[in-house]
Amino acid sequence: MDQAEAIHSVKNRLAQARSVAVLTGAGISADSGVPTFRGTDGLWRNFRAEDLATPEAFARDPRLVWEWYNWRREVIATKHPTPGHLALAEMETRHERFLLITQNVDGLHRAAGSRKLLELHGNIWMVRCTACGAVEENRDVPMVLLPSCRSCRGLLRPHIVWFGETLDEKRLDQCMGALASCEVLLIVGTSGAVYPAASFAPIAKAAGAFVAELNLDPTPQSQLVDVAIRGRAGQLIPQLL
């Protein structure tokens, strides 16, 4: 099946679908200029996300972890949603049931107008107090280090799910509900390396969904999906509308 036929087949499935789910990863924000995690531009000062985005790294050296997040906040603050983000915000208005699940913490889907949105790993513009648990939005670029809680002076951390941390039960249940009921699942711009998000395509497939992958490259999930479309998310998603 060539590219045009593949796009046509997914478009047809979407046109008839009452319930649609979408899972996005760093690839959809690559077109905005946000570095991906595992691409060549994804590394930061020779550190890997798996080494810095962990509670152990934060306990050992909160300043280093905050410096990494300050760098990412600075990068993301100047980025805008792509036609891919905007097309997904439009897509949610066309189906009775729709859920956009993103692994990205950059907030670009929210900025694009998506409302039926679940930020599985949190949001880089939200901070949480490690002492009293208070959560609030903070858009300081950079954060003055080390940031402390307004009400109890406790150390603030990014309100983001780090490696080794469990995901919010409610959020996960909402994902499982969408995966069990969707007729179409789009998997956009993710390498399928991180769990539990990496298990979403097989779960939806087992529940009878038509699964399409939109990615620049093949991934471990490519042979599992019904259709794999190669290309840039920013160009492909608008063609599905």
Closest CA to 159 of 120, 197, 189, 116: 120
In the bound state with ligand BV8, the residue whose beta carbon lies nearer, of 166 and 223, is 166
Spatial neighbors of 209 by CB under 8 A, at least 6 apart, are: 21, 179, 182, 183, 184, 185
Q: What are phi and psi of 52, to 5 degrees?
A: -100, -35
Instruction: Report yes or no: 220 and 192 within 8 Å, Cβ to Cβ.
Output: yes
Helices 83-91 and 233-240: angle between axes, nearest 10 degrees: 30
Judged by CB under 6 A, the residue of 23, 178, 182, 194 near ligand BV8 is: 194
Residue 18 is encoded by which pair of tokens?
Answer: 């009452």
In the bound state with Zn ion, the residue whose beta carbon lies nearer, of 154 and 238, is 154
Footprint on residues 209-228 left by ligand BV8 (CB under 6 A): 215-217, 219
- Under the criterion CB under 5 A, does residue 152 sit at the interface with Zn ion? yes
The answer to whether 8 is a known catalytic residue is no
| Residue pointed to by tokens 């779960």 | 203
Footprint on residues 120-139 left by Zn ion (CB under 5 A): 129, 131-132, 134
Residue 107 is encoded by which pair of tokens?
Answer: 């907030």
Which stretch, 2-10, 14-22, 48-56, 57-65, contacts ligand BV8 (CB under 6 A)? Answer: 48-56
Beta carbon of residue 103, minimum distance to ligand BV8 (angstroms, whole number)? 3
Judged by CB under 5 A, the residue of 42, 154, 231, 238 near Zn ion is: 154
Q: What are phi and psi of 222, to 5 degrees?
A: -60, -35
Beta carbon of residue 210, minimum distance to ligand BV8 (angstroms, whole number)? 19
Which stretch, 1-9, 143-151, 160-168, 221-229, contacts ligand BV8 (CB under 6 A)? Answer: 160-168
Spatial neighbors of 201 by CB under 8 A, at least 6 apart, are: 23, 185, 187, 192, 211, 213, 221, 224, 225
- Under the criterion CB under 6 A, does residue 34 sit at the interface with ligand BV8? no
What is the C-alpha separation between 83 and 112, in angstroms, rounded? Answer: 9
String marking each residue 56-85 x if it binds ligand BV8 according to CB under 6 A: ------------------------------
Binding site for ligand BV8 (CB under 6 A): 25-27, 30-31, 36-39, 42, 49-50, 53, 103-105, 121, 160-167, 189-191, 193-196, 215-217, 219, 232-233
Instruction: Please give the positions annotated as active site.
Output: 121
